[in-house]
Structure 1
Amino acid sequence: MATATARQTESTGVADPSLRKRYTVALVSLGLGLGGFVDGIVLHQILQWHHMLTDYGDASFPRSTVSSLEENTFWDGLFHASTWVFVLFGLFLLWRVAMSGYRASFWSVTGLLLAGWGIFNLVEGIVDHHILTVHHVRDDVADPMPWDLGFLAFGLALLVIGLLMHRRAESRDPVDR
């Protein structure tokens, strides 16, 4: 009892696995991009706790000089441009999946968006805060490590909660909606 628009298999009525994969990739990509926007808008612009290069080795670009702020603003802009690419990619894939007739529950969508945001926090936190040390969550405190670890814990919580939400939603109704 499969419909052409939902691309379900005839025997099971379950959605084509390639649609589920594209749906997952679309929403995780969208979550990555939106998570990056939250980071950039809240931590970089509103709270001004750090910019992209505020702790970049010996050639640090402190927030206290105009030239350093200009340099950081440039790199913050490139960061926002990259998050925008993730958002556009996710929206494009999501549109393609939606055009095929695939539907998912609110909880599944929300879960995958949160998982994407969590992945962003984990990757950005590990790479920028710990490996490259180009900045920390708080570059204006004596010991930034607790803030960096809290950021990673928040990212892990987003990822776990998001995956649990998605899995629970999918297990309740494994057939296309």
Structure 2
Amino acid sequence: MPAAASVSPRRRRVSAGLVLGVGLGGFMDGIALHQIAHWHNMGSAVLPPHTMEAMRQNMRWDGLFHLGTWLITLAGVWLLWRDAREGTAPPARVFAGQMLLGWAAFNLVEGIIDHHLLQLHHVRDLPVHVPLYDWAFLLVGGVLLGAVGWMMSRPRGAPSR
């Protein structure tokens, strides 16, 4: 039996929504916080963008970040295409919930690793670090968004645990 056939259709459906949510969540972070709001860059706590060379380096890191999120999004599109072709794509509400779960997972992992553990950047890089932004990002963008996604991704009539 081929490897793909050993994975249940439900698992593949979840994978497409989650993977797309991770990739598109990364794009949203980069577009909204890096490019529009100018709150931070990928390495702005390590190399504050006070000179043109520092800004150039931060833009390079942002570009690599966007390349990664693009590749993840591309993988999610391929998974969704495969599920649609096989007739195993979930209902729109469930799929949207799975995408929100993926976005929340991105926010939690990126927030914990980049903001707290590695201190590469913070949600809002200011002259004085304000940890409240980082914690609010984890709470709202991770926990709250994840809870909404989890509720939406459950099939109707599924037993609660």
Matching residue within 131, 136, 150 for 1:150: 136
Q: Decide whether the 8 Å contact of 1:137 with 1:144 is kept in 2.
A: no
Q: Decide whether the 8 Å contact of 2:21 with 2:101 is kept in 1.
A: yes
Q: TM-score, normalised by structure 2?
A: 0.90
Question: Residues 60-79 of structure 1: matches in 2 within 5 Å?
Answer: 61-79=47-65
Q: TM-score, normalised by structure 1?
A: 0.82
- Aligned partners of 2:89 and 2:30: how far apart in 1? 31
Confirm whether residue 160 of structure 1 aligns to residue 150 of structure 2. Answer: no
Q: 3-state SS of the aligned residue for 1:172?
A: coil
Question: Residues 1-177 of structure 1: matches in 2 within 5 Å?
Answer: 18-56=8-46, 61-140=47-126, 142-154=128-140, 155-167=142-154, 170-172=155-157
Structure number with larger C-alpha Rg: 1
1:49-84 superposed Cα distances (whole Å, 9 cap, x missing partner): 00011112xxxx112210000000000000000001
Q: Unaligned regions of 5+ residues in structure 1, if any? A: 1-15
Q: 3-state SS of the aligned residue for 2:124?
A: coil
Q: Number of residues paired by the alignment?
A: 154
Larger % of helix: which? 2
Q: 3-state SS of the aligned residue for 2:129?
A: coil
**In structure 2, what is the equivalent of residue 9 of structure 1?**
none
**4+ residue segments displaced more than 2 Å:** 141-144
Q: How many percent of aligned residue pairs carry the same amino acid? A: 45
- Aligned partners of 1:55 and 1:17: how far apart in 2? 42
Q: Unaligned regions of 5+ residues in structure 2, if any? A: 1-5
Q: Structure 1 residue 161: deviation in Å?
A: 0.8
- Aligned partners of 2:40 and 2:129: how far apart in 1? 14
**In structure 1, what is the equivalent of residue 3 of structure 2?**
none
